[in-house]
Structures are given as structure tokens and as C-alpha cells.
Amino acid sequence: MTRRERLLATLRGEPVDRPPVSFYEIGGWKVNPDDPDPFNIYNHPSWRPLLELAENETDIIRMCSPAYSPLPGARIEDFFKTESWTEGGSLYTRTEVRVGGHVLTSLTRRDRDINTIWTLEHLLKTPEDVKLYLQIPDEVFICEPDVANLFAAEHELGDRGIVMIDTADPICLAAGLFSLGDYTVIAFTERNLFHELLEKFARILLPRVEKVAREFPGRLWRICGPEYATEPYLPPELFREYVIRYTGPLVRAIQKYGGFARIHCHGRIKKVLPYIMEMGPDGIDPIEPPPQGDVELSYVRSEYGKDLVLFGNIEVSDIETLPPSEFEKVVIKALKDGTQGEGRGFVLMPTAAPYGRVVSERTLTNYRTMVRLARDFAR
């Protein structure tokens, strides 16, 4: 089978010659190791062998989003002002939102040697801030998607893999506006207000997802955000209120046009798995093992594997820290647990990716182990 054929058969629940293996963000995001930008960690020479391994030997699931254009006359500049500057080797970005005679602010920092963005100040801090944010017209946030770049990415990939459309859900957009502490307090104590925020983002997201699903049908999607309604942040019963009600329609919109909806949910998922199943998704990732998660891959396979394609469940910390002989045992266990008994499909995949500038030899060796063991695996 080609890499593309293997992935599509897995999504459809059809037999495959072996389980696909994906490095998630590595090979998932299209990066340029030749870009000299000082904030591009991938231009360090230690990254090149790993990037080439992902492109040449894994079953690529390329994460893409459509191009978006704001609505004509959206007046974004009337509400949002952003400025960026470099200081002490870091890139800072301040966002100001002017609404209702008040100014809301956020501040982020990006460091040269770490591929992540640290939020130093979150935009929303109090219920009053939420009420101000809700005054911003929906039209300011609504964007018109253009799927031409998705077709181009798929053409460029050819038989090496598939394109996966990436989207946030309403709780992802809402929770990300707060610090985790403020988010959990407001989501728990100001439920009506938090529903208003979720409803706002649902009005913005659902038409966008439906349009992309209609114009680029039959593809895999990743929906990010449900983990914000898992323990220890919120009790499982709020998952129904904050996820099923608003994320479920996204799942159905994707499937309406033959697409496959994959729920991205880190952490402790055991108690919310029944709620996730109510939405009827096609897959789930990354199914973190204990102690980061609270459920074994074998359990998810036996209880839900007939309906879900399982993506996981190799902890990235194991890739970076375990001796190769120990890591090999972890991969073999995941391959066995993810394919035991009857099931729709399994993709061997890490929970995340390294985000430092330098890739160690141990890390590279362990990624090579994933490819080798998946390639040679026979049930």
C-alpha cells in the first residue's frame, strides 16, 4: 500500500498491511529548515535528519488550515490593535482590545530556542471583561475561508500521506482567552455567561467549518479544545454542557460531507469518553497513558475501538528521555494494545513533539525505532 492508501483505509476501518506511523507535528506542520529566521528552531542542523525521516518514511498527516479573509467592512482595526517588538532575544506581542470605553490587554512572549508562545497576560480576567468582549460584533471575527491551499497541499503530498484540516472548537477559543485559574472559576461559577461566550464562537465557527467541509469533502479533521472540559479543570458533567452542545455540531458538519472528525484531547479522558462518543467522532488522539493520562490504550481499544480510530499513545517525554532499549518496549506495547481484537484502526503516534532547538541523538534514535517497529509489525 502507499502511505496515502494506508491512512485512508485506516480511517475507513478497512484492512491495512501494517499500522500507519505518524510523528504528529513533525511532518504534520510544513516547516522550512533553510529559513534563517532566528526564531525558526528547525534550521538547527540536528533537526534535518528527523525532518527527513518524517517526510520520507512516515505516513504523513499534514496539518493545514484554509486561507481566511475578513469580511469587507469588518472594522477589525476599530477594536483590535497589535504591536510586536524584540527584547532580550525574545519576541513580545501586545494586543489591545478597545470596547465599551475600556481596554483589554494581552501579552505574549516567544523565545528563540523554544517553539512555543508563552502568554504572560491573558486578555480576559473577570466576568466584566467577558461582558465587554461579548459586545464585539460577530462580523469582526467572521472570516471567509478559501480551500485552494488545501488542494495544493494535497497535490504536493501525493501518495506520501493525507491532509488534515485543523480547527479549534468553541471551548478552545473561549478558554484560551483566560489564564487556567480564571477560566476554571468563570466556567464553573458563571455558567450562563460562559455559555454566551461559547455561543458567540459557535456562531462564528460552525458556518466556517461547514463551508470548508463542503468545498473540501471527505478529508480528516482535527478538532482541538475538549480537553479544557476534562479533569482537573472541570468536572465531567460539564463536558456535556460545554463540549457536546457546541463541538457536536462541528463533528456532524464534517461528517455530512463524508469527512472524518478526530477529537484532540490530552490528559484525563476516561470519565469523558462516554460523552465524546455521544458526538459520534471518527477518531481520537493522543490517548495519553498514566501518569499524564488516566487510561490505558488497551482499555480504549476494547471499549471504543470498534467505532474510533485511535491515534497515539507514545509520550513525547519517553521519546526524549528513555534509553532506546526501554523505548522499544513502550512502542511494542502500544502497537499490540492499539491493534488487539476487533477495531476500526490504529495510528502509532506521539502525544506531541520536541520544541527545543537541538534534537538529541537519543531522540532521533527513538523516532527511528517507531518507524522500524511499525514497518515490521505483524498482528
The ranges assigned to domains in the chain are 3-72+123-376, 76-122
- pLDDT over 90, % of the chain: 99
Please state, for a pLDDT cut of 70, what percent of the chain lies above it: 100
Please check the confidence at residue 378 and state whether its pLDDT lies above 90: no
Quote the mean pLDDT of the chain. Answer: 98
H helices present in the chain, as ranges: 3-12, 25-28, 48-57, 127-134, 148-157, 170-175, 180-189, 191-215, 237-239, 245-256, 273-278, 297-304, 316-321, 324-339, 361-376
Q: What is the mean pLDDT of residues 127-138?
A: 98
H-helix or E-strand containing 107? strand 102-111
Pick the CATH number of 3-72+123-376 from 3.30.70.1450, 3.30.390.10, 3.10.180.10, 3.20.20.210: 3.20.20.210
Half-sphere exposure of 346 (CA within 13 A, CB side): 31
Mean pLDDT of 153-180: 99
Q: What is the pLDDT of residues 186-244, one digit of tens each?
A: 999 999 999 999 999 999 999 999 999 999 999 999 999 999 999 999 999 999 999 99
Q: Is the pTM value of this prediction over 0.75?
A: yes
Instruction: Please give the full DSSP string across 20-76, using - where no structure is assigned.
Output: -B-BTHHHHB---TT---TT-GGGSGGGHHHHHHHHHHS-EEEEE--EEEEPTT--G
Interval 255-293: pLDDT, tens: 999 999 999 999 999 999 999 999 999 999 999 999 999
Beta-bridge partners for 104 = 97
Q: How confident is the model at residue 65 (pLDDT cuts 50, 70, 90)?
A: very high
